[in-house]
Each structure stands twice: as C-alpha cells, then as structure tokens.
Amino acid sequence: MSDEVAISVTVNGQVEHVRVEPRLLLVHLLRDELGLTGSHVGCDTSNCGACTVQLDGQSCKSCTVLAVQADGSEVKTIEGMGTEDDLHPLQEGFWAKHGLQCGYCTPGMIMAAADLLERTPNPTEEEIRHGLEGNLCRCTGYHNIVKAVQHAATAMQSAEVSA
Amino acid sequence: MIPAEFDYVAPDTLQEAIAARTAGGEDAKFLAGGHSLLPLMKLRLAAPTLLVDLRKVPGLSGVTRENGHWRIGAMTRHAVLQDSHELGAISTVAAGIADQQIRNRGTIGGSLAHGDPASDLTTAFLAYEGTLTATGPDGPREVAATEFFQDYLTTALAEDEVITEVRMPRLEGYGYGYEKFTRRAEDWAMVGVVALVKQADDGTCEDVRIAMTNMGSTPLRARAAEDALRGRPLDAGSIAEAAGHAADGTDPPADRNASEAYKRHLAQVMTRRALTSATK
Amino acid sequence: MTLMDDRTSGNHVGRSLRRKEDPRLITGQATYVDDINITGLLHAAIVRSPEAHAKILSIDASAAMARDDVHAVYTGEDMADLLAPLPMAWAPDGVEVHNPEHWPLARGEVKHVGDPVAIVLGTDRYAVIDAAEDVLVEYEPLPVVTDIEQALEPGHALVHEQFGTNEVHKWSLGGGDMEAGFAAADVIIERRVVNHRVSGAPIEPRGVLADYKAGAITVHTSTQVPHFVRLFMGLMLGISEERVRIIAPEVGGGFGAKLQVTGEEMLCAWASRKTRKPVKWIETRSEHMATCHHGRDQIATVRLGAKRDGTLTAMHADIVADMGAYLMLLTPTIPSLGAFVMGGVYKIPAITTDITGVFTNKCATDAIRGAGRPEATHMVEVCMDQLADELGMDRLELRRKNFIPKEAFPYETALGIVYDSGDYHAALDLLMEKLDLPALEREKEELAAKGIRRGIGFSTYTEICGLAPSRVTGPAGFGLQTGLWESAIVRVTVTGAVTVYTGTSPHGQGHETTMAQVVADKLGVDPQNVEIMHGDTGTGAMGLGTYGSRTTAVGTESVARASDKVVEKAKAIVAHALEAAPEDIELRDGKFSVQGSPDKGMTLAEVSGMAHVRPELLPEGMAPGLDETSFYDPNNFVFPFGAHACVVDVEEDTGKVKVVRYVAIDDCGPAINPTIIDGQVHGGIAQAIGQALYEHVMYDEDGQLVTGTFVDYALPTAAELPSFETDRTETPSPVNSLGVKGIGEAGTIAASPAVLNAVVDALRPLGVTYLNMPLSSESVWNAITEGSRA
C-alpha cells in the first residue's frame, strides 16, 4: 500500500485528524472513516451528484475529490445542514414541497441547491433547473425539487429581510 | 469504482513540484483540480504511480489584467472564470462546462493539459490564440495555442512540464458567440463553436476567429469559414454562407451521440448561430 | 414541525399531509444498505466477464489471494452445494419455456458481458477491488447473438446450444374473431413499433449485506421483494425458511430493477455461510448498467383495422421480445402483462397478441416500471395516431369515437379481462380544458417561421395493476401466474400507539404516510402515532412486495381490513364496558361511544389499555390484546386511466426535441394523498420522457455494452424537463373498499406515446409520417432530412 498521508479536515465544524491512503476518495472518508453516511454514491463517473458536499463553501462531488485534496479545508455535509428539530430552509423546503421520494439523491440535491442559492439567491425556474444539472433524481421528475428550492429561496430571502 | 494505488506528494513550491514530477518518471502526473484525471483513474483508464498535487504551490490562481491580456493562473477554477464576466467569451464558455460542482473544482490548466478536443476551454483558448507558460526543470517557456494541441489527448507539454499560466488577448472590439450542442445540459459537446468577430466601421468583418469543439482529434479552427467571412458584410446571408464552410477539411470522430455526417452538419449550424450572436 | 396542512381535524384520507418518512431522509440519517456495518465483515468484489459469450478455460486467483487483506476467492465450482439455480417464477400450463440453469457464478460458460465469474472477499473495500482485477480468467470466445430477429433464423449461432434454438417461448392472448374483424375493416394500418432497451437505474445501486450465524441468516438487501428473496434463498441454500430473515432497509428507488431474486443476494449469503463472516457487496453503477436486469426491448408488428368512419374492428400485435441470456424471476412474463391491456381504452371486437421470446447474449430483461404495459400502450397509442392520419380523421375524434363509455363498466374486453371502472371522456375533457389547444396551434405558425416545429401529442390510456387476483391470474383464470395477495397486521399497544406491519416493501412511494392516513381515519387517531413497518420478513406481516402499482390497491386495502377488525374488537370491548350493543357503538372524533351519548365513551388508548392491562374486564371468551391480521386476495385487477398531452418544440436545423409542456390527467380512484399521487405521476412521466428522448441501453454487434455508465446512459436532468401540469378525475374502483387504483407506473405507461406522437405531429408538415424511439437529435434530424426529400 502507498504511504498514508496525515491530513486534517474540518467537517461540519469538527476538526478531524486522520491518516489516509492517498487514493481514498473524500466520500469514503466521510462515510467509512467519519461515519457520515448521508452523502451517497450513485455512479462512477461524476454524473449523479448524490455525493455532493460543500468544500470550503462550494459544492463538489466528493467522489471526485481525494481526501488528501481536502487537507486543511472545511467540509460541510447534509449532517451539518440542520437536524430534524432545526431544519435548514432547504430541508424544510424539500419536506414541505414533497421534493423527495426514495431520498437517495436528496442530500446531494440539497447541498447542490445550497450552492445555487448562494450564487443566485432569487433564482428563476430555469436557473434552478440548470443549477441542479449535476444531480440526478429518478423519482420526482424534478418538478417538486424545483418547488422545494423556490420555497427555500423565499424563506431565506424573507429571513434576510427581517434580520 | 476507485483509483488504483499511487503515491502522493503535495509540494510547497513549484520547483519542488517539478522535481518530484521529474523524479517520479513517466508514470507520474501533476494533479490540479483532478476533474479530468480522477474520473479516468476511477475507471482505471489511467493509473499514475505518483500524483504531484499542485494545491499548495503559491501564485497559480487568479485572473489579472496586463498589457492587453488576461493572465489566468493555471489553477484558476472554472467557477472563477464563470464569475469573471469581464472575460467575455471565456466566462461564458466556462459557465457552460459540465455542472456547478465540476466547475467549482476543475481548473483551466488541468483542462488544457488534458488536451481533450471535447472540452470547452481548449476551444476558447484556440479561438483567442492565447499563449500559455509551461514550466519544467529548465524553467518557463511560452507555447502558443496554435502549437499546443497536437493530437487526441496529446499536447506540446513535455512530460515534466506544468502549465503555470494562461494568457488570453483582451480582443477589444470583438463580439463573441458560443454555441454548445449537447444531448443533455451536463454532457460533453457533440459540437461546440466559439466565434469572435470584429466589425469594421463599414459594417464588414474586419477579423473573425472560429474554433470548434469535438470536430477532430484536437480543437480546430474553422479557417475556411473565417476566410469566407473576412472582409464581407456581417449580414445573415454572408454568415450563413461562411458557416457552410465550417466543416470543410474536418474529419470528426463519430461517437454514440453523433455520426460524422451529423457532426459536420452541426458544426455549420452552430457556427451560424455563434457568428450571429457575435455580431449582434 | 407538523405533518398537518392547514386543517387540524377531520379525515386524513384525501389530504396532502407531509410525509412521515422525510425527516430522516432530509437530514442524512436514513439507513441504506451501504450505511450498515457489522463488526468483522468482509467486502465482496465480483469478477465479471468482459466477453459476451465464451467458454471459461481457466481461472487463476493466486495473485489475488496473495494480496494483503484478501480472505478468499470463490468460483462457480466452489458453489456446487447450491440446491437450485436462480428462480424463474413462470410456468403456465401448456407453454413450453426454454429455461437454462442460471447460477450466481457462471459454470463453464459466460453468456453476457458482466456475467459473474468469481467473488473476491476481503477486509478492505478498496483491496478487494484491486484483487478482483488480479483474478486471471482465460476465455475462449463463442459466437455472439445480439439481433433478436436474426437470432430466430435457422442456422444462426445459439446462446444456449442445448435448446437447438434461440426461441425462449411462444405465448398468445386473444379474443374475438380476428378474421372477421380485419375483413370488416376499410383501412388497416401496419406499423413496426420498436420499444428499445432501458435501465431502471435507481440512483441507489443494488447492495447486499449477508450475515450467517449459527444456522440462521439475516440479509439486508436493497430490494422491492424481501419475501420472495427469503423463499428462494431458503430453497437455494437449503436453509429452512424460518431461519432466513430478509430486511429491505431504506431502499433508494426500485423502478422494477429491484423486483428480482438476484445472484448477488445468493452469492453473499452463500459466502457468509462459507466464511462464517458477514459479507457485504455494494454494486457500482457500471455493474448496475451491465448486470441489473434491463427492461422493454421489444419489436412489434402491429396491425390496426377500422371502418372508414373510424370504428375500430381488430388489433393484432406480433411481438418479438429480447429476453437476454437468462430468464430471471419474471422475464418471459413481462410482454404478457402488456397483452392484458392491448386495445387500451377502446372498444375493439377482436384483439390478439402473439409473443415470441428470444435469447440473446445480453443482460436479462425483466420488469422495469410499467413492465409490458408501457410497450402495449405505446403500440396502441402510436397506431391510433397513424390510423387517424390514414383516415384523415382528427386523432381525438377517433379516440372519442372508440372510447369504452362509462356506462359500459364493468366492461369485459374482447380478451375476457374485466375493466373495473372508467370515465375516459371525462379525463380527456379535463385535459383539453387545461391544454388550450387553439393557443398552441396559433403559436405553431409563429414558431415555424423561426425554424421551430411545434407538435402536440396525445395518449389516452388505461393500465392493469393491483397484482394480483388469484381467480383471474391463477390456473383457473389466465394461467399467467399465481395470485399475489397481501397481508397486514394492525397492532395497538397498551398506550394506544399503533404499529402497522405490511408485507409490501415501499422504496420511495410514501406508504408510511398514506397507510398511516388510512389507519388514522379507521381508528380515530393521529397519523403521527401510526408507524408503518415494512420490508422485514422477520418481524412483520407476510406479503409479496411492492411493484406493479399494487401496494395501495392490495397492500393498503389489507391494512384497511385489519384496521376494520381492530375497530370491530374495540367496539365489542366498549359495548361490553358501557353495557350497550356493539352495533350501537360508533367512532367519532377519536372516541368510541354509544350513538347519541357522545360524553360516555372510550378512546382507542383506553380500549387498548383495558385489552392489555385489564383483560379480565373484556367480554367473556375474548382474548386480550388489540392486534389483528388480515389477508387480502382481490377479486379483480384495478384499471387506472387517464389522458396525457405532450407539447414539443423541435429545432428544424438540428433535430433537437424540447418538451415544453406536459399535461397529465390521471384517475386512480379517490386520492389518499394528492401530493404523493402528483409526485408519482411526475416521476413516471420523467422516466418515459427519458426513454423517448435520451435513454437507451445499447450493445454493439459483439455484445459489448456501449452504455456502461451514466455518461452514456443518459438520465434526464432537471434542465431537460419542464414542470408538469397534473390534475385528476376520481372514479372509484368497485374492487376494493377504498375504491383505489395504482398510480406508480401510470405516468410511465402513458407518456412515451404522447412524446412520440408530439414529435411526429411537429414534423408532419416536413413530410415525416412515422418515427420510432429513441428520438435522439440525430435520428430526428435524419427523419427531417429524409422526410423533406420524400
């Protein structure tokens, strides 16, 4: 085996010091080493987006990032977005608008949508659809995912106004 | 699917990185954003023995303006270009690459070094007649876009050279158009066309550059179409006529989305559309 | 946080409650197979054939075994102790079906790319993948069969030598006088209708975690059918069924792809028994594309006859169906399922479907969302447009003229199938109201000037679901298969909490919510306090799984019936306590009380408390507890229906098709949860648009899979699809007490002909009269080019 590399990654605010094989994918670091199984793997070719997390504030496909590349970085996963008692507006939006069925793509979809709303706080339907083109869903036909993101955008905008 | 084993270093300086790459021999690779390389490694279509990660090397990222050029650090991510609207066509092309997650990680240097004729920035680089700096053990050298792409996934980059900077002329007074024909939004282009057009005061075409994605083993200039338009009035008729020459002399590879004949046809349609937007 | 919408009391059925399953799914806390780990587990990687057809000459695992972290490598020879091959569960009387033995690991020969050859077990997930690459298999290539029509020609290479033919079987279903029907026709159209191969492609690939301990085995598997897996695992491994426990944890989508008893499930279970260690296999997407069964892949010659006035007289479908290399659980049954609704929503006096199954060196086909019914609907609806064109008649007028009228229900078709209920005119009327056809037609001309061809396509459909009434499907009926009943247990605990056990196994459909809504209304409780347990053969009710849009019509009905029994017992208890007659007890506002005296009464919690804590107070002879089971075998299928319209814009100069509007009216009986129904319809439509425009499992002539990843197998993304416009009519089914029909597949069944008809409609002015799927931009551009030339 290739020599392990010592890295530190801040995951959902928690600093993690781990030694990893250079080829370890970030998604496997999160899932298998750190027990954060909310990020999923759905393909081999960086298409499906089920593994999407935020790396230093930007969405990325954690199946296409080596854990060693995340050394010194901050990672946010679905587990860092909100809990069932304190949902992130996007989580709330997906629930309120039936934006999920089997739920497998949902964490990645939410993390991609978070980047989208960061870049485009008040997106049109077309901007949402293009903003999520890196995430595949087989259940919803995306109809209610679009609604969920709109719901979240409105909630986040009004929260900002009142803040 | 996971990559085969490899060794890994992340040097702090460019010199160390080049030295590590040289010491690693022919199976060593530089790693930038990894979005060309890692997908191939996961499918085991590439199996480098050593990755030299450039992420700690200072000074490789960012866009600056200098002497009529844009200087773009090789490690500048597509998303940064996407957001740099002042870059005109380059920004538009970058915004059309794959999806946001990939744009957030992929870099211009990595994309050019991979030399894929299906990738978007290679075409823009060719259309702009940009230059890049390739730095190796003997120091930096400049390579022009026209010299850079040699064959399928083959560039003028020597084994132990790394792209450190890309320069694009600012092309004041040029209009641009970019057309990417895909099956799905996130897919590679079946055919893509970047058109840059400078209109003379009399409304004729003073200069035009057209580059095409995925029409050969490297990104290609549509010289016949350019020649047909240069000096002509920029109206629908001459644009259509020029676009009709877009596929002249090309031998596009068929793939499962498009036959050779269809690609040649698409090249003409996309060229017409790109020229039309460039002259609006 | 609340599940409720703006209403806070009253019935829950019919309301769009938020889903009970979502909090765990939106926070990343759900547990899919790959999220489960057991100490000491071995990871499995499977060595698969790169050849489409070959003899295995040798297998050398020494290099793999020499690797650190590798525990064992097994091949087909090592598995000689299996008691039976993988199952194919269709054996109708009088039909000869060539069924080759199909083992979890190939024995002697491989029959398609991806056929499993060896399993590598080791302690490290990454190491076993490396080791699998080190297993050296020597193959001697054999001739490859890929084209189903050529495969039937004499002297053609064979997939399975022992049968002397590539024909799997022949099966027919017909009724009425075909000869007279076609003789009476003034016009007969004949079309070759191709329905290409697709993949179910749930975003969660398959996965198995098998744990054998002390003679018993527990298997977590991403499946739609845990009870089937249990039955066949016991038989194959020689483990008595009570010691086999199958658990479907959170399942990340199925679409039929997980309606299977798979070699990998058996392989992991066998390997766990062999090694006495838990064994986990997680499918890669590349493996999924090559080895998880595909769907469709039929070529049909369809003839449709009509009188000059449009009255249909006869329909014949001659289907050649690609079964792939092996027959899996339902492989040869799939085209037959379509035969039952051949003829669709129309009165046709004579209908016949002839099916020929064919072996090829490809992955097996089997049920994928709709399973036979999308193919049949596609044939009917595409040919209706073709016929209208031929007759010079409006395509909707032709449909309306032939609709089975609502007064005719229950309606026995020429095939002897009895459609339960329907009102096809109402659905089409509502569709036209939503669509605003005149506006679309006006836009057509404006767009044509810009090189955009607009087309509008329709599909009016019915489908057959609610598998399966034994009297209709069993030996006494059509002999298609046995019946497929469901059972449910409704258990009220001492505190009045309700746990419902169902034998169905949902994987995204929201049954934890919809079943809870039904039970909540039956028992007068809050759906928040009704927990639905599913997908575990060890702890719950018997059942046959979730597929074929059966869960609501069969599974939820059995839940409703078990709830009724609980209510009956509760009433008897309350009547006894209040010294009243059971028939005088009513349940109102959450309280069981004597009619007319609402103050005196007991809540379900009080009844259940008494039934558990004070059984001595129960009526003489009544057993303690409040826990009832109900088995339910429906007496007929149910037949959802609807009318869909698709609006496309086609770029004349590239052939690119964009779906700009999609309007769907569906009728699945009274809605339990309208939002969930809409969601099912959205997903179904998207899957059919995917097939019509983007998705195509392709093999080359050497049997190599061309579309082995999500790069090549193109699922539509959000950017390709429009928002959908949905609405419903509600025509109750007389078959079950809830009046419900299925909705999971309706969108997929209805939508592909709507898309295709729309594209043909768009291009008709350019001389294009007929197309087959998939409508890639190049194929459409070719049609435009040729059409203009013609």
Cβ–Cβ of A38/C723 closer than 8 Å?
no
Residues in chain A within 8 Å Cβ distance of C723: 125, 143, 146
What domains can be seen in chain A, in order of their start residue?
Answer: 5-80 (3.10.20.30), 89-162 (1.10.150.120)
C509 touches chain A (CB under 8 A): yes
Question: Is pLDDT above 50 for C4?
Answer: no
Cβ–Cβ of B186/C717 closer than 8 Å?
yes
Report ipTM for this prediction. Answer: 0.98
According to DSSP H, which parts of C583-723 are helical? 604-613, 674-689
Which segment of A19-23, B34-38, C598-602 scores lowest on mean pLDDT?
A: C598-602
Distance from CA of B106 to the nearest CA of C (A): 18
What are the pLDDT digits (tens) for C109-133? 999 999 999 999 999 999 999 999 9
A104 touches chain C (CB under 8 A): yes
Partner-chain residue, chosen from A42, A136, A141, that has the shortest CB–CB distance to C205: A42
C717 touches chain B (CB under 8 A): yes
pLDDT of residue C482: 73
Cβ–Cβ of B5/C714 closer than 8 Å?
no
Q: pLDDT confidence of C8, banded at 50, 70, 90?
A: very low
pLDDT of residue C5: 45
Cβ–Cβ of C252/A39 closer than 8 Å?
no
Partner-chain residue, chosen from C18, C250, C710, that has the shortest CB–CB distance to A45: C710
According to DSSP H, which parts of B24-114 are helical? 37-42, 78-83, 89-95, 100-105, 108-114
Residue with tokens 């097939």: C691
What are the pLDDT digits (tens) for C252-282? 999 999 999 999 999 999 999 999 999 999 9
Overall average pLDDT of the A29-53 stretch: 97
Q: Which residue of B has its CA nearest to A44?
A: B1
Residues in chain C within 8 Å Cβ distance of A110: 26
pLDDT of residue C698: 98
According to DSSP H, which parts of C109-191 are helical? 125-134, 148-151, 178-183
Question: Is pLDDT above 60 for C790?
Answer: no
Overall average pLDDT of the C389-407 stretch: 98
A47 touches chain C (CB under 8 A): yes
Question: Is pLDDT above 80 for B121?
Answer: yes
Cβ–Cβ of C683/A139 closer than 8 Å?
yes
Percent of chain C with pLDDT over 90: 93
pLDDT of residue C2: 44
User: Amino acid letter at C378?
Assistant: H
Question: Is pLDDT above 90 for B40?
Answer: yes
Q: Residue C403: left if φ>0, alpha if ψ -120 to 50, beta else—which one?
A: beta
Partner-chain residue, chosen from B6, B55, B184, that has the shortest CB–CB distance to A23: B6
DSSP summary character for residue A30: I
According to DSSP H, which parts of C116-212 are helical? 125-134, 148-151, 178-183
DSSP summary character for residue C555: I
Partner-chain residue, chosen from C1, C250, C718, that has the shortest CB–CB distance to A133: C718
Q: pLDDT confidence of C93, banded at 50, 70, 90?
A: confident
- Return the partners of chain C (3 or more C-beta pairs < 8 Å): A, B
DSSP summary character for residue C527: G
Name the helix (H) or strand (E) containing C698: none
Distance from CA of C720 to the nearest CA of B (A): 7
What are the pLDDT digits (tens) for C129-168? 999 999 999 999 999 999 999 999 999 999 999 999 999 9
- Per DSSP bridges, beta strands C530-534 and C657-667 are unpaired
C714 touches chain B (CB under 8 A): yes
Residues in chain A within 8 Å Cβ distance of C251: 102
A74 touches chain B (CB under 8 A): no
CATH fold for the domain made of B63-169: 3.30.465
pLDDT of residue C344: 98
Residue C580, number of CB atoms within 10 A of its CB? 17
Percent of chain C with pLDDT over 70: 98
Cβ–Cβ of B100/A131 closer than 8 Å?
yes
Cβ–Cβ of C26/A101 closer than 8 Å?
no
In a mutational test of the B interface, the residue from C125, C654, C788 whose CB has the highest number of chain B CBs within 10 Å is C654
Q: Which two tokens stand for residue C661?
A: 């509007």
DSSP summary character for residue A72: T
Partner-chain residue, chosen from A58, A68, A130, that has the shortest CB–CB distance to B8: A68
CA B118 to chain centre: 9
Cβ–Cβ of B183/C781 closer than 8 Å?
no
Question: Is pLDDT above 60 for C19?
Answer: yes
- Return the partners of chain A (3 or more C-beta pairs < 8 Å): B, C
pLDDT of residue A109: 98
pLDDT of residue C599: 85
Q: Which residue of B has its CA nearest to C697?
A: B256
pLDDT of residue C481: 66
pLDDT of residue A163: 63
What are the pLDDT digits (tens) for C569-623? 999 999 999 999 999 999 998 999 999 888 889 999 999 999 999 999 999 999 9
DSSP reduced 3-state for A93: helix
Cβ–Cβ of A131/B104 closer than 8 Å?
no
- Domain with residues B174-278, CATH architecture: 2-Layer Sandwich (3.30)
Cβ–Cβ of C284/B187 closer than 8 Å?
no
What domains can be seen in chain C, in order of their start residue?
Answer: 22-30+484-632 (3.30.365.10), 33-142+205-251+258-291 (3.90.1170.50), 294-468+636-789 (3.30.365.10)
Q: Where are the domains of chain B?
A: 7-53, 63-169, 174-278
pLDDT of residue C10: 56
Cβ–Cβ of A45/B105 closer than 8 Å?
no
Overall average pLDDT of the A5-13 stretch: 98
Q: Residue B202: left if φ>0, alpha if ψ -120 to 50, beta else—which one?
A: alpha
Overall average pLDDT of the B85-97 stretch: 96
Are A134 and B99 in contact by the 8 Å Cβ rule? The answer is yes
CA C752/CA C648 separation, integer angstroms: 13
CATH, domain range B7-53: 3.30.43.10
Partner-chain residue, chosen from C251, C686, C687, that has the shortest CB–CB distance to A102: C251
A19 touches chain B (CB under 8 A): no
pLDDT of residue B252: 97
Which segment of A83-87, B152-156, C477-481, C766-770 scores lowest on mean pLDDT?
A: C477-481
Distance from CA of B28 to the nearest CA of A (A): 14
Name the residue among C287, B38, C282 with its Cα closest to residue A60: B38
pLDDT of residue C606: 96
User: What is the DSSP track for B179-210?
Assistant: EEE-SSTTSPPSEEEEEEEEE-TTSBEEEEEE
Residues in chain B within 8 Å Cβ distance of A23: 2-6, 41
Name the residue among C226, C208, C203, C217 with its Cα closest to residue C534: C226
**Non-local CB neighbours of C436 within 8 Å, separated by 6+ positions:** none
In a mutational test of the A interface, the residue from C27, C36, C680, C707 whose CB has the highest number of chain A CBs within 10 Å is C27
Q: Which two tokens stand for residue C238?
A: 């020689």
Overall average pLDDT of the C737-764 stretch: 97
